[in-house]
A and B are shown apart, each in its own frame.
Chain A
């Protein structure tokens, strides 16, 4: 077994590979992780030399030509936006800023500022020109941030390289929230066992999922939040309402594509149950688990995924 790690995209990527030839396994792993570093440079919101920063600087004034792969990724992001009826949106940046979650821990926004920010949000206001491979904003002041799917995309691209190099068994994750499994580990032919942490008690498992040639992404409302009028407001904004999501606190989604998993787990925090059902009935390869908060209790919704036996539904740890 060979293990490698990389610090990129503000998180730690870790890769485990199984096989007979550790020298070749490491070589494959290094090439895969190099691809992630390369994509970080192209996709970073914070690096002023990235393709995304160039778009954000210039796309209001003129169409910005981008690399074919970046274009394909933005096109996917627009498709996911349509599929999730706007719940997944990489242009949510102005709203995040308005709610004080960009670099801060959040604050109740000014109503007028919120309206303005909402007007600058929406992937349907981004024009993608396939023939020119270019991007243009129809609304001034828009911002694209691939934070929600960049990691999934990097993981997909790294896995593609691992397969090209002949890797038969590997698990790659970014910050433990997005992962892809190639084949299965030698001692577990059904797949790589992965636990979904309990939202109120991370040391316990909400579910254990087996992944084989499949990805999983887990999104959760945790970390940054603030109190206002006796209610807690978390850092995940529903781009449609412009408000922090209320309801779902955790969403785990599996699918062969890590990019799609990333987008869907983000959207599932904002979507109504019925909307989710519509997506799941269209795309059969999705498995999912959603946790809602109902007062002090947790409520579970699963699709083709089983919760851990005797799962604790107490929403308040301790």
Chain B
């Protein structure tokens, strides 16, 4: 497994020049202007569930994007689409969208196990593709999609591993890589929510289709649908992929006939010897979702959609800038806020210790990167098919370990195409 090759060009847009210890302060969030006079990218969203709606709503705010068509097989979702985006045409068959030569890009937000056929057909039809993560519900399907994406090298293929495009994450990533946490010793992550994960409809067939996340045949469970985004960040900041995973899964809160666990734990073993503990549950919402990386000099926590704080050991070297940085109290600990755009705010006479009101959501930056690729690419996006295959292979294997309550080695070949 080699270093992650992030497209240099894509990386520099949100990145910064490294300048020693002050680099977090120097990292700027830059948003490029959509080239003047350039026609917007005509987009179609396929699958108008919660994620499809979020995509549509975000596209409305991203320069260079124009949502022209929405597809869903369920009539009430199309009625929602009509109210949300009245100007977009509505379709119940995705092939109509692919046949429409005016559509340049399709965004696939269907249930995970339905990505494959749509993604392959879309690439075949010459469309640029944004596919939600995880890429597929099996490694075999993920490889088929990844291969098609690799072959269509003149088309854009970006996956929904959105933190890869998030300037806040990019800045903290550089910070960690510069050694500011000392030697990484351990990682921990969680995703907690109090909800049943069930969906309903007056139509019995729909109830089955809507509840794909609770169907053990196709669902990757909590580790796949929630955890994989956080684990993707772990692969990125630790710069390695797990070599084994030990999993556990239980039904603790929603004993309603389901077999997909509502509470899971997993321990990921990395080649460097580092272990990452992860748990997710639908029983409790306590403390929401976060990831923590414990190092010998400091600990970093990511939470609240990409915000980050650092907690220093008393004997850690002085970085300098942290004296001026904003501090937030976490019970008895004091966290130093890692703000990606502090220097830029300083230059604009805004208070650099306040959150920047112009910071957009991680999904917005992912959409912006997708649009920019139309104007300046095609290049391999940060959330490329390679990253998608790796994250999907981890999620599929972890889900197997969880459902069988065992330890599974992950063959590095799973991460690669032949």
A317 is an interface residue with CB less than 8 A from chain B: no
A28 is an interface residue with CB less than 8 A from chain B: yes
Known: A34-B50, A65-B60. A26 touches B86 (CB 8 A): no
In the complex, what residues of B have CB within 8 A of residue A42's CB?
Answer: 57
* Most chain B CB inside 10 Å of its own CB: which residue of A34, A68, A165: A68
In the complex, how many angstroms separate the beta carbon of B192 from the nearest chain A beta carbon? 15
Q: Which of B50, B84, B86, B361 contacts A49 (CB 8 A)?
A: B361
B37 is an interface residue with CB less than 8 A from chain A: no
- Interface pair B357/A53, CB less than 8 Å apart: yes
A221 to B360, CA, bound (A): 38
Closest to A28 in B: B200
| CB proximity to B under 8 Å, residues A21-80 | 23-28, 30-31, 34, 42, 48-49, 53, 57, 65, 67-69, 72
Interface string of A242-261 (1 = CB under 8 A from B): 00000000000000000000
- Interface pair B201/A166, CB less than 8 Å apart: yes
| CB proximity to A under 8 Å, residues B319-375 | 355, 357, 359-361
- Interface pair A164/B76, CB less than 8 Å apart: yes
Known: A48-B357, A166-B202. A68 touches B83 (CB 8 A): yes
In the complex, what residues of B have CB within 8 A of residue A48's CB?
Answer: 355, 357
A283 to B342, CA, bound (A): 54
- Interface pair A26/B196, CB less than 8 Å apart: yes
In the complex, what residues of B have CB within 8 A of residue A24's CB?
Answer: 198, 200, 207
**Chain B, interface size: which category?**
20 to 34
In the complex, what residues of B have CB within 8 A of residue A25's CB?
Answer: 200
| CB proximity to A under 8 Å, residues B369-411 | none
In the complex, how many angstroms separate the beta carbon of A51 from the nearest chain B beta carbon? 9
In the complex, how many angstroms separate the beta carbon of B293 from the nearest chain A beta carbon? 26
Q: When A and B form their complex, what is the total count of cross-chain residue pairs whose Cβ atoms lie within 8 Å?
A: 52
B315 is an interface residue with CB less than 8 A from chain A: no
- Interface pair B360/A68, CB less than 8 Å apart: no
In the complex, what residues of A have CB within 8 A of residue B256's CB?
Answer: 23
A26 to B256, CA, bound (A): 12
A26 to B60, CA, bound (A): 32
In the complex, what residues of B have CB within 8 A of residue A26's CB?
Answer: 196, 198
Known: A34-B50, A57-B357. A67 touches B60 (CB 8 A): yes
Interface string of A163-187 (1 = CB under 8 A from B): 0111000000000000000000000
In the complex, how many angstroms separate the beta carbon of A38 from the nearest chain B beta carbon? 8
In the complex, what residues of B have CB within 8 A of residue A72's CB?
Answer: 83
- Interface pair A31/B199, CB less than 8 Å apart: yes
Closest to A34 in B: B50
B85 is an interface residue with CB less than 8 A from chain A: yes
* Most chain A CB inside 10 Å of its own CB: which residue of B57, B256, B359: B57
B61 is an interface residue with CB less than 8 A from chain A: yes
- Interface pair A23/B357, CB less than 8 Å apart: no
B195 is an interface residue with CB less than 8 A from chain A: yes
> Can you add 8 more A-B contacts, CB < 8 Å, to A25-B200, A48-B355, A57-B357?
A24-B200, A30-B198, A31-B199, A49-B361, A65-B60, A68-B85, A69-B83, A166-B200
Question: 25 pairs across A/B with beta carbons < 8 Å?
Answer: A23-B200, A24-B198, A24-B200, A24-B207, A25-B200, A26-B196, A27-B196, A27-B198, A27-B200, A30-B196, A31-B200, A42-B57, A53-B357, A57-B357, A65-B60, A65-B61, A67-B57, A67-B60, A67-B84, A68-B60, A68-B83, A164-B76, A165-B201, A166-B201, A166-B202
Task: State the A residues within 8 Å of B (CB).
Answer: 23-28, 30-31, 34, 42, 48-49, 53, 57, 65, 67-69, 72, 164-166
